[in-house]
Structure 1
């Protein structure tokens, strides 16, 4: 494991080489780290925090949209009332299987959510 002192020393070396005009790839090869490590070492800490915050915000928005779409899809199925349709046996089996599979997958997600956020599901 890399110690904080080793990290600070590496970051100083990365900055020194970058100021000398070396590319990220050249720096990485010279000091034996990945190009991504060099880029992280060159980034300002507040920029990294901003990037992490932006990633969390995007993931939160994606989850919000997914839950909203799932809820809308459930309502669309309820409104369509497929269980009251006259259809052939193969279609009925396919619909029933698809609905059960979707319900099982959603139930797994709800259970995982309840485990992680017990107070939200009480």
Structure 2
């Protein structure tokens, strides 16, 4: 939601894309701005602590990504009867998200080619 707002999307556009009401979008954006405005004391972390923090963030993000992908798969949007505008929005969101994930996977493969090679050699496919 915050990214859409930063890209200049209107409340109506944000609400439409996220399938929420304009009031919910307004409230959530206001809450996010309040959270952003809260001063945070500078942290004094060691490099090892920063690395551990980044690993934990990545683990959480990937777990959430897998959960979200499973939820979309379970919802079977391709087999859901809906109006044309919603179908176009869903198709656009799926394509855009797939492109983002493809870029992330490519970057990961660049930095960790051995990990990707292990999956390939083991016959593991993530595109079932």
Give the paired residue count: 74
The secondary structure found in structure 2 opposite 1:74 is helix
The secondary structure found in structure 1 opposite 2:95 is helix
TM-score, with length taken from structure 2: 0.56
The structure carrying a bigger helix percent of its residues is: 1
Partner of 2:95: 100
1:68 and 2:50 equivalent?
no
User: How far did 1:112 drift?
Assistant: 0.4
Partner of 1:83: 78
The secondary structure found in structure 2 opposite 1:121 is helix
Partner of 1:55: 50
Distance 1:54 1:85 in 2: 46
Equivalent residue in structure 1 for 2:109, among 78, 101, 114: 114
Which ranges of 4 or more aligned residues in structure 1 deviate by more than 4 Å?
Answer: none
The secondary structure found in structure 1 opposite 2:46 is helix
For residues 82-119 of structure 1, what are the alpha-carbon distances to aligned partners after superposition, in whole Å with 9 as ceiling and x for unaligned? 00000000000000100110010001000000011101
TM-score, with length taken from structure 1: 0.58
Distance 1:103 1:68 in 2: 17
